[in-house]
Structure 1
Amino acid sequence: MKRKFLYTVAGVAALAGAAGGSLIVGTRSAPPAPVPVAAPAAPALDTSAVSADMQSLLAAYRKIIVLTQDEAALSNDEKAQANRVGQQLFHENQERIAKLDESIARLLASNSPARFDAIGKLLDYVESGEGLYDADRLAFREVMASLLAQVAKDSSLPAIKLHKRVSEDLDALAEIERNYEKEIRAVFGRFESRAIDLKREKWESYVAYLKTIYQRERILKDYGVVLPYPSKPEPAAPAQAGREEAEIFGKTLPKKTIVLTFDDGPHRRYSEEIAAILKQYNAPAIFFSVGRNIGSLDAQGKTQLNGGAQVSRRLKQAGYVLANHSFSHAQLSKQSGDNLKAEILNTDALLKAVDPERSALFRFPYGARNKEGMQALDNAHLKSVMWNIDSLDWADPVPSSIADRVLRTVDKEGRGIILFHDIHERTVKALPAILDRLTAEGYQFAGWDGQAFKTAGTAAPAAVPRAAATGYANSWAIVVGIDKYQKWPQLQYAVRDAEGVGQMLVQKFGFAPERVLTLKNEQATRTGILAAFHDRLAHGNLQPNDRIFVFFAGHGATRKLSSGRDLGYIVPYDADPDKLATDAIPMTEIQNIAESLPAKHALFVMDACYSGLGLTRGAANAAFLRDNARRLGRQMLTAGGTDQLVSDGGPNGHSVFTWTLLQALGGKGDLNGDGLITGTELAAYVAPAVSSVSQQTPAFGSLPGSEGGEFVFELPEESEFLNTATTQLSNDAIALNTKLDAQASAPAASVVVKDLQGNETRLTAPAAIPVSDRQKAQRANDQGLLLYKEKQYAQAEAQFTEALKLRPGFALAANNLGFVFYKQEKYAEAARWFENAVKMDPSRAIAYMNLGDAYFKAGDKAKAKGAYKTYLELSPNGSGAGYAKQQMEKT
């Protein structure tokens, strides 16, 4: 069961008022009663120093928020000073986090029986500390992630239970971040105001509370800053020749030119993730490295490189520029003499040890420099690089807020150097949305060629594997299913088809339920369907980076016009067959609606028969994701052509067409294996597959007005641990899927399908997006799940094996491979892989249940009892608790 911190939006404000600003927002279930032991209780470990560091960490985090709130209302001087002090607080916190990591590591290494109770008390504070807001808990996210990794090294039962608790807390922190993401978008968002304001009580209550305990002026004063009274603005000085050459700010770059820079790394995880995202957009970047993250120098000045240097080497090999950000991230404006020179030259020596052709770029920590520092740079033949666009990712805990801030500032500046930090997960999350928007708006990314910033040429740098995000802001759907017509023949499967598609969109692809507009039977009148488009979507709700998916299951009709052209219609619930022209909805109106929607991409899927709408195709190209972000897409896939009957005989109460569509969206439509399903891939799987098992010829194409953009589904990573409760497909579903797969397009192959005029058109899937070994492993695991559910055990075994070859510590694939053996009654082999799974992820309760079953089937009842017991320790109230107790009675 996932541990959750309790919070509401309006409720926090009420709690704040009732408690005078002190909030109780987190709870957790009480731990089980301790089991009496003969030995005396171990003495409690002193965690007061660790607790004090955690409270200091929180205090600095809160001060950063107070400093950076209301940034739009600050003068330039106030903003600069607030950011400088805020960054100093941030870097002090980075040192606190490192200290906390060391302290917790010592606690865990002490082997004292009380060490887990001591860690538990620290978790009690994070989970339910008095006066903590949910936003406060985000301050401890990095500490918790490190704790999880450290606890995983201990295989004792208390450590396993602690691992489970920390995992659940991290899940809850991710949920808190998602909750604030919606609210911070309203605070920092770039979107136009809407008729219904988003609720912000929670964030505003939090900030209001912080301002009762901290004031910006006091924080600045504590760090040596007193802001003078505002003076009258002086006339702007004429531009000084050579200023940009002496120190680069980015303001003289060509219009719509951006330089991406990342400070404070290298980070052993996030730096390379950021580099991989950049590759998807062919975006160069500069990584300003802190020297101590790369290595050290001994008394003789000899460099000693560490693991961070290997990260830097890989960044260099991938085509990125390495640059100097001082040795210790000290405020160099307060340094002088040998200390100042060492901060600059020691890192320069380390960078040369990593890359003899290191760049001559330098960035002062906090942007704080003095005359002596500038002279030291000149003597070292280094150039100062500043910035004019600050992401504030060091201060802001929410990725969408970071993205919104950057994009608003870019809109204002029109060009420049963006300051990011490659030591945060939130930067990794924010980056795709930023790059998508900038790419779509025609910005170019400039890199350093050794002399100046220049935009990328035609030759792209060597690819680094990573699948990029699809870049949509919100996802909308209109889903219509009509069985019970007033005046048309009744249907059996249309409503179930609509329900199945709606569930797929919400459960698999993360469409918000409130943005999936479902109309069934009497709701799906002509007025109701058109109102869903015009009232709910077209009039102000859709945004330029949104997508809209439309599914219709019901009757379709075709009418011959006097010109001889066929015109297709969708038939609403209340249409009269004798009044088709006035009661039904012509495809020309659907086309007009598609063109009027301000969304980036729209896909219409019609489980009915049509003709009479000419379609055009836009060719795919290798730079798919980058170009797709620029182009509008309006696509349609239909179940069949003129006068063809839709086959309603599919499995699970679906039509053949919708069943095939659902299989494609379940993963079979990813023809090139990159984790993305485009509209073209969907059609390339569905059209020939449906034609092979029915009398239907599905049609596909782009609606007039489309610019060749593709609707894109991004497949989520499956996390299901196979077990006895996992459902498999029925025999008739497996039989149909076997026929469908036999006609499916092979990766990168092209297929010929019909357009809506009955002509042939060739579909070719876009070039696959390069992915990392980790992502390849996930895709192999996900494919294995599909094969397992179709009882293709040999093929499933091969996929899970491939996943483990690509990612040796992949506990999910290890468990799933074990369960394939278990299903084939190979119990000894199954037990070995379940054992591997629990070694890789010791807190995964379901793997212990599987392990117990494998031992039991193999006849080793003693081991089975131990595995069932561990399952109950980890999940005493889990769905399998009753079964585990029954099994223990048999051992």
Structure 2
Amino acid sequence: MKSKLMIAAAVAALAGAALTLYRHQPPTAPLATTAAAVPAVQPELQALLANYRKIIVLLADEKTLSDSERKAANQVGQSLFHENLERLARLQPLLAQTQALPPAQRDAADDALLSYIESAPGLYDADRLAFREVLLALQKLAAADQTLPAIKLHKRVSEDLAALEDIEKQYDKEISDIFARFEARAITPKREKWDDYIAHLRKLYSLEQIMKDYGVIMPYPQPQAAAAPANKEIFGNALPPKTVVLTFDDGPHGTYTEEIAAILKQYNVPGVFFEVGQNVGRYKDESKRLIDAGHAVGNHSYSHALLSKQSGDKLYGEIANADSALKAADARRSPLFRFPYGAHNAEGLAILSQLGLRSVMWNVDSMDWADPVPSSIANRVLSTLDKEKRGIILFHDIHDRSVKALPMVLDKLIADGYSFAGWDGQDFKVMRGAQPEPEKIAVSTGYANSYAVVIGINDYQKWPKLQYAVQDAKAIRETLVNRFGFDSERVFTLSNGEATRNNILAVFHDKLADARLKKDDRIFVFFAGHGATRQLSSGRNLGYIIPADSDPQQVSVDAIPMTDLQNIAESLNAKHVLFVMDACYSGLGLTRGGGSNAFLRDNARRIGRQMLTAGGADQMVADGGPGGHSVFTWTLLQALNGKADLNGDGLITATELAAYVAPAVSSVSQQTPAFGSLPGSEGGEFVFQLPAEAEFLNAQSTQLGADAIALNSKLDSGRSQQTDGNTVVIKNLQGGEQKIAAPQPVDASARQLAQRANDKGLQLYKEKQYAAAEAAFTEALKYRPDFGLAANNLGFVYYKQEKYAEAARWFENTIQIDASRAIAYLNLADARQKLNDSDKAKKAYASFLELAPNHPSAGYAREQLKK
């Protein structure tokens, strides 16, 4: 009961504070009396109530929250509270306008307003407390008018205020199951239980959604490492693998420190600058600029003396005086210390502990203080890291050669996938700017080179012409090259008249043979065209693919039997081969390989020869999919876009591909796709590695058309109906049935989980599933609160739903995470424009142009600045 009373008291306090501030608003000059202003009262009242309810939801859950969650909830509650203060200020002149209307309009407007407060359906007693300030303002306006209608209005409002006092008293005392009735007034108190009211509000709002709308997502709890003692030294070999800290000693320097900082900004990586106290006095503005840029500034003694040979006041002064100089330059200095030359004694460490400083050593010495050759400095750092695999790197920002060597080091480290850690106030952690712009991946896990044969035939000489095949082949080629990093010179494409029997066989026998395939290569084969089935005298069916020059009367002579493709597949010196045939036939042999718990390791050793076909004998390939594709290839493209990653590990195996495509296609067509392993397979799986999506959503981001969205919805729905848990039943290559189970989810880091959630959000956004996309981007930010990509994308989902204030908050969050991200400024400007905040919009457009003057949207931004 005590918690209920505390919440009620908090609600009353909020209302009282709002009233106090409201009463101190300056008098408003009379406005023109127009009926047009009257309708604006109702939306403001509804918004006032919504914010009031959200504050209660935040307060109701307060005791169940952690300290960090409580702090965030309070911040959001304050935002809601101040929004209502601004709303009350806007309501005052609107109410004054209402009272200045002609009598009939005024009386109708007053009655509508009070009827809503007194008896609107769905309002609880506690809801009406939100309108007390509105009633007081209306009472004051009525008191200033001595006409009979005004006197009646004053009486009605006074009775409503008295009823509100009764309501508040009921929530200020112990709540009973049965209440005595009071004399009826315009507002009849129902005196609901407070728990009922809270339960009602929780149906309307969730604490998580309220906080998210105001730019706050609470991250998933992370395991906390034991805190190191304040005086424990930090060493580079304690960092995670492939992680480095860039440190720069002996500055600040009048020229080179600024140049080093510019390079770090260009590469978007953090640094730690250990500064000499006597230099700080000369260049204190430089220290402030470094901190403003997100770098850490630490103590490197006052005069760069050899502190291991000093003691007493002199030793203390070297450390303390430098710290005072750093604090004078900028109080945000970091509590980090580096002993000159790395030399110290026990007394020096004790002084650091006394002053709250920590010693930071290094394990990778660039020797830039001695080596005059930049390339030699870079090679020394890189070779040392090749052995150490991680480390704190020692540079000096007082040498020109250090400036020249730094980009060489950064280029190589970024290419090798290193992360860059910065000081977060307590420890060195990987910072947001550590990742380079994503590049196309070259190969999937365990592959050396990737080859493909892509064939599409529409214009048959003697068979019926097709509409979809060439377009399908073109889309598959683009997906292989642009999404999965296949070298375009290793993707052999044949279209229409090029795809004769001789040319098709020549690709396999000659071009792939000339490529000198290695045992760790992979080959993807796609065929879109006619297929046929011929029954042999033995009764066995034999499937064929039909080249462009084939004669329907001579199938056994000038078509290509699947047995030939099987033989070719077995003869190719490649680890994995996958045939995907957008044609219908039967008559293929099948062998199945077993699964493995250690999939990636075992898969690298097993040969794989697999095939996925669009359907069986006597089935027509369904045309008429979106974009001029067949239904089968359209579904295949959606699968490769990420939908076939059934266990969320960032990999799509051939089995997962079949498990998604086969039931989805059969649910919307008469086709029954088949899948299996060909003779010679040892159970290996062809694997696609999904690239990490890096699209910052904006006004130019593409979305699927209505026909594509409708078909995808049918595909997903149909597949789910044919799936029993993670198991699906599909045809094998012999026409029988087989069960396929999706692999189990694998363990992943928070960063990987965040990326996968973001990628899922992009899929959903393209299909205009905004609520689901919002949930996916939210999930990404729970795993990784500093994920600027997901923050921007969440903001844009809000923008597409016309929730512009919420969108603006998340674009602002994106900029706080990564101030160099130009597109976030453009998105923020558009959101501000929608909110009619032209000054802030223009400021954001200007920032966008400053960062990206040659962006495709630069012309649009310049036009907005002219308005």
TM-score, normalised to structure 2's length? 0.54
Aligned partner (choices 537, 554, 560) of residue 529 of structure 2: 554
Question: Which residue of structure 2 lines up, in the alignment, with residue 767 of structure 1?
Answer: 744
Question: Which residue of structure 1 lines up, in the alignment, with residue 346 of structure 2?
Answer: 298
CA distance in 2, matches of 1:529, 1:881: 48
Aligned to 1:473, the other structure's residue is in SS state: coil
C-alpha change, 1:850 and 1:293, in structure 2 (3 Å) is farther
Structure number with larger C-alpha Rg: 2
Aligned partner (choices 363, 386, 389) of residue 421 of structure 1: 389
C-alpha change, 1:469 and 1:647, in structure 2 (3 Å) is closer
Could you tell me whether the CA contact under 8 Å between 2:246 and 2:271 is conserved in 1?
no
C-alpha change, 1:775 and 1:299, in structure 2 (3 Å) is same
Alignment of 1:482-561 (within 5 A): 482-561=457-536
Alignment of 1:218-617 (within 5 A): 298-299=346-347, 421-423=389-391, 470-617=445-592
Question: Which residue of structure 2 lines up, in the alignment, with residue 23 of structure 1?
Answer: none
CA distance in 1, matches of 2:479, 2:345: 57
CA distance in 1, matches of 2:703, 2:849: 26
Aligned partner (choices 744, 756, 762) of residue 733 of structure 2: 756
Alignment of 1:489-888 (within 5 A): 489-744=464-719, 749-888=726-865
C-alpha change, 1:552 and 1:823, in structure 2 (3 Å) is same
CA distance in 1, matches of 2:451, 2:292: 40
Alignment of 1:123-202 (within 5 A): 144=267, 146=269
Aligned to 1:552, the other structure's residue is in SS state: strand
Query: How far is 1:548 from its partner?
Result: 0.6
CA distance in 2, matches of 1:292, 1:698: 70
- 1:98-120 deviation per Cα after TM superposition (whole angstroms, max 9, x unaligned): 9984259846xx9xxx8997458
Amino acid at match of 2:827: N
CA distance in 2, matches of 1:741, 1:579: 41
Alignment of 1:36-185 (within 5 A): 101-102=247-248, 106=252, 118-119=259-260, 144=267, 146=269
CA distance in 1, matches of 2:351, 2:599: 43
CA distance in 1, matches of 2:640, 2:820: 31
Amino acid at match of 1:732: D
Could you tell me whether the CA contact under 8 Å between 1:622 and 1:766 is conserved in 2?
no
- 1:416-458 deviation per Cα after TM superposition (whole angstroms, max 9, x unaligned): xxx67345997998799xxxxxxxxxxxxxxxxxxxxxxxxxx
CA distance in 1, matches of 2:455, 2:384: 36
CA distance in 2, matches of 1:809, 1:99: 19
Could you tell me whether the CA contact under 8 Å between 2:258 and 2:286 is conserved in 1?
no
CA distance in 1, matches of 2:715, 2:343: 57
- 1:526-556 deviation per Cα after TM superposition (whole angstroms, max 9, x unaligned): 1111111111113452111111100000000
Aligned to 1:545, the other structure's residue is in SS state: coil
- 1:332-368 deviation per Cα after TM superposition (whole angstroms, max 9, x unaligned): xxxxxxxxxxxxxxxxxxxxxxxxxxxxxxxxxxxxx
Amino acid at match of 1:102: F
Question: Which residue of structure 1 lines up, in the alignment, with residue 435 of structure 2?
Answer: none
Bigger drift between 616-625 and 840-849 goes to 616-625
Amino acid at match of 2:248: E
Amino acid at match of 2:745: A
CA distance in 1, matches of 2:735, 2:727: 18
Amino acid at match of 2:546: V
Question: Which residue of structure 1 lines up, in the alignment, with residue 178 of structure 2?
Answer: none
CA distance in 1, matches of 2:345, 2:450: 52
Query: How far is 1:618 from its partner?
Result: 1.5
Query: How far is 1:615 from its partner?
Result: 1.1
Aligned to 1:882, the other structure's residue is in SS state: helix
CA distance in 1, matches of 2:526, 2:465: 19
Aligned to 1:717, the other structure's residue is in SS state: coil
Query: How far is 1:328 from its partner?
Result: 6.4
Query: How far is 1:744 from its partner?
Result: 3.2
- 1:287-323 deviation per Cα after TM superposition (whole angstroms, max 9, x unaligned): xxxx999999835999999xxxx9xxxxxxxxxxxxx
Question: Which residue of structure 2 lines up, in the alignment, with residue 227 of structure 1?
Answer: none
- 1:805-832 deviation per Cα after TM superposition (whole angstroms, max 9, x unaligned): 1000000000000000000110000000
Could you tell me whether the CA contact under 8 Å between 2:472 and 2:630 is conserved in 1?
yes
CA distance in 1, matches of 2:473, 2:580: 11
CA distance in 2, matches of 1:768, 1:832: 34
CA distance in 1, matches of 2:414, 2:259: 33
Aligned to 1:674, the other structure's residue is in SS state: coil
CA distance in 2, matches of 1:569, 1:796: 43
CA distance in 2, matches of 1:579, 1:535: 25
Bigger RCO (CA 8 Å, 6+ sep):
1
CA distance in 2, matches of 1:621, 1:292: 55
Amino acid at match of 1:634: R
Could you tell me whether the CA contact under 8 Å between 1:620 and 1:764 is conserved in 2?
no
C-alpha change, 1:531 and 1:146, in structure 2 (3 Å) is same
- 1:73-93 deviation per Cα after TM superposition (whole angstroms, max 9, x unaligned): xxxxxxxxxxxxxxxxxx9xx
Query: How far is 1:676 from its partner?
Result: 0.6
Query: How far is 1:397 from its partner?
Result: 8.3
Could you tell me whether the CA contact under 8 Å between 1:297 and 1:303 is conserved in 2?
no
C-alpha change, 1:104 and 1:796, in structure 2 (3 Å) is farther
Aligned to 2:248, the other structure's residue is in SS state: helix
Could you tell me whether the CA contact under 8 Å between 2:566 and 2:678 is conserved in 1?
yes
CA distance in 2, matches of 1:398, 1:549: 40
Amino acid at match of 1:581: S
Amino acid at match of 1:859: N
Total equivalences in the alignment: 510
Could you tell me whether the CA contact under 8 Å between 2:762 and 2:773 is conserved in 1?
yes
- 1:728-771 deviation per Cα after TM superposition (whole angstroms, max 9, x unaligned): 11111101100111133679711110012110011122333321
CA distance in 2, matches of 1:825, 1:874: 26
- 1:750-796 deviation per Cα after TM superposition (whole angstroms, max 9, x unaligned): 11100121100111223333211101001100100110111100000
Amino acid at match of 2:818: D
Aligned to 1:801, the other structure's residue is in SS state: helix
Gaps of 5+ in 1: 1-90, 92-96, 124-140, 164-290, 311-325, 331-391, 403-418, 433-467
Amino acid at match of 1:421: K
Query: How far is 1:889 from its partner?
Result: 1.8
Aligned to 1:744, the other structure's residue is in SS state: helix
